[in-house]
């Protein structure tokens, strides 16, 4: 491993023992699966190439057997950064971690130049049908991609409902069909944000507010201690995070 180019280049700039030993653990994992489950192929993303070939080399030396590795392109954001758990920006299949609305919006807002490749990588449409699409109308293609991906993961009913919610919010500016979350009147904006997953924590919520990232009825919220009341905002409100994340809140009077 020390002689490999992948490790040599990192040793010059610094490499932690955890990073170095990760390849060892993954190699022995491949060996274990080979011996106990007759596994002969390990698949992973492109950034796992060194770890995979390390396992192939270990099995060849320990068992004198030939095994194989296959890698896939990474999913990158618009800045070229990897999308995933280790980067803190995963898109979860679990609706409790990434809601169908946010899942739909992720695909709806991918960079224009990535749309066709994402159709090819993730949907079950034939290559011929994708090649025949009109990518001149890129917004239509993004909507199609978002619907297909949401349908694959969450089913047709959820995909149709989510698409309707998105269209109401962004095209018709409506909110009637957007699922609402109920709270008692005069509740803290910070508590709402955390409960609705607009923020990971109260400190995260305060950072979003200080950065002018939260608004209600197009009014930017700037006060951490702000209480959201029926008297000021009405019973049925939309809280917006940034430009593309919305939550519908219904306030109920305290008895």
Mean pLDDT of the chain: 87
Q: Give the whole-angstrom CA distance, residue 69 versus residue 97.
A: 31
Look at residue 146 in the predicted model and tell me its pLDDT. 96
Beta strand 245-252 with 180-184 is parallel
Strand pairing category for 214-216 and 219-220: antiparallel
Q: How many whole angstroms separate alpha carbon 98 and alpha carbon 89?
A: 11
With CA atoms as reference, report the closest residue to 110 among 136, 75, 85: 75
Question: What does the pLDDT average to over 223-230?
Answer: 89
List the beta bridge partners of residue 245: 241
pLDDT at res. 244: 67
Statement: residue 174 has pLDDT above 60: no
Q: Which CATH number does 85-170 carry?
A: 1.10.240.10
Fold entry, domain 180-252:
3.10.290
Q: What is the mean pLDDT of residues 51-79?
A: 91
Q: State the pTM of this model.
A: 0.60
Q: Could you tell me how far CA 71 lies from the centroid of its own chain?
A: 21
Domain ranges of the chain: 5-72, 85-170, 180-252
Q: Give the torsion through C-alpha atoms of 150, 154, 159, 160, to 10 deg.
A: 160
pLDDT for 166 equals 79
Q: Is 240 left (phi over 0), alpha (psi -120 to 50) or beta?
A: beta
Q: What is the mean pLDDT of residues 162-168?
A: 81
* % the chain with pLDDT above 70: 91
Whole-angstrom Cα distance, residue 66 to residue 117? 33
């Amino acid at each position: 491993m020390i002689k490999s180019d992948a490790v040599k280049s990192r040793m010059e700039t610094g490499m932690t023992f955890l990073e170095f030993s990760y390849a060892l653990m993954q190699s022995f994992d491949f060996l274990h699966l080979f011996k106990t489950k007759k596994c002969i192929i390990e698949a992973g993303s492109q950034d796992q190439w060194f770890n995979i070939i390390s396992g192939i080399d270990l099995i060849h030396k320990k068992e004198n057997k030939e095994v194989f590795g296959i890698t896939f392109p990474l999913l990158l954001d618009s800045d070229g950064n990897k999308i995933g758990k280790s980067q803190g920006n995963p898109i979860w299949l679990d609706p409790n971690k990434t809601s169908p609305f946010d899942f739909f919006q992720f695909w709806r807002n991918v960079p224009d130049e990535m749309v066709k490749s994402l159709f090819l990588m993730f949907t079950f449409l034939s290559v011929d049908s994708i090649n025949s699409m009109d990518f001149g109308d890129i917004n239509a293609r993004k909507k199609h991609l978002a619907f297909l991906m949401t349908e694959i993961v969450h089913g047709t009913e959820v995909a149709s409902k989510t698409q309707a919610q998105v269209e109401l919010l962004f095209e018709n500016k409506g909110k009637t069909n957007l699922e609402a979350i109920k709270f008692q009147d005069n509740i803290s904006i910070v508590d709402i944000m955390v409960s609705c997953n607009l923020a990971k924590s109260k400190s995260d919520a305060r950072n979003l507010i200080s950065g002018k990232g939260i608004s209600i009825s197009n009014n930017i919220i700037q006060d951490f201690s702000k209480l959201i009341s029926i008297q000021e905002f009405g019973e049925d409100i939309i809280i917006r995070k940034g430009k593309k994340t919305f939550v519908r809140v219904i306030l109920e009077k305290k008895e």
